[in-house]
Amino acid sequence: MNKIAQASALPFRIYKDKLQILIITSRNGKKWIIPKGIIEPGDTDRYTALKETQEEAGVNGKVIKEMIGSYSYEKWKTLCEVSVFPLKVTEVYDQWDEDHIRKRKWVSAKRAAKKVSPKKLALLIKEFVKRMETNLIKM
């Protein structure tokens, strides 16, 4: 089976002293996910994570250097391997490239872990929360 490298951002903010995660709908609107995309030749994984977040979720921010983890899923008869990076949101756009096909929602980390697909992503969200609580994420 062929493999495709993808990068993803876990957009977050601290709002009223609480950690919130930004989740978005898949293109068909049936699942809650986080922004991700194929790493194009010449692009870095962190650049791809930021670019996809701008296009799919309509936010900008700072990609944290340290990867949270990765997960895999099958699509297009190919194995997609996704590297996940935290992204501290600094700007929220009123309009963005995919606002006509995606919804976005700020939720608690606990709620994000319950809503997202695939389940491996939920585990990565829980790992991110643990790192945030123990100050292991360098911003």
pLDDT tens for each residue of 63-108 = 998 899 999 998 888 999 999 999 999 999 999 999 999 999 999 9
pLDDT at 136: 58
pLDDT at 104: 98
36 beta partners: 8
pLDDT at position 139 over 70: no
Q: CATH for 3-133, among 3.40.47.10, 2.40.10.220, 3.20.20.140, 3.90.79.10?
A: 3.90.79.10
* Residue 106, C-beta contacts closer than 8 angstroms, at least 6 positions apart: 13, 15, 20, 21, 22
pLDDT digits 0-9 by tens, 9-35: 999 999 998 999 999 999 999 999 999
pLDDT at 60: 98
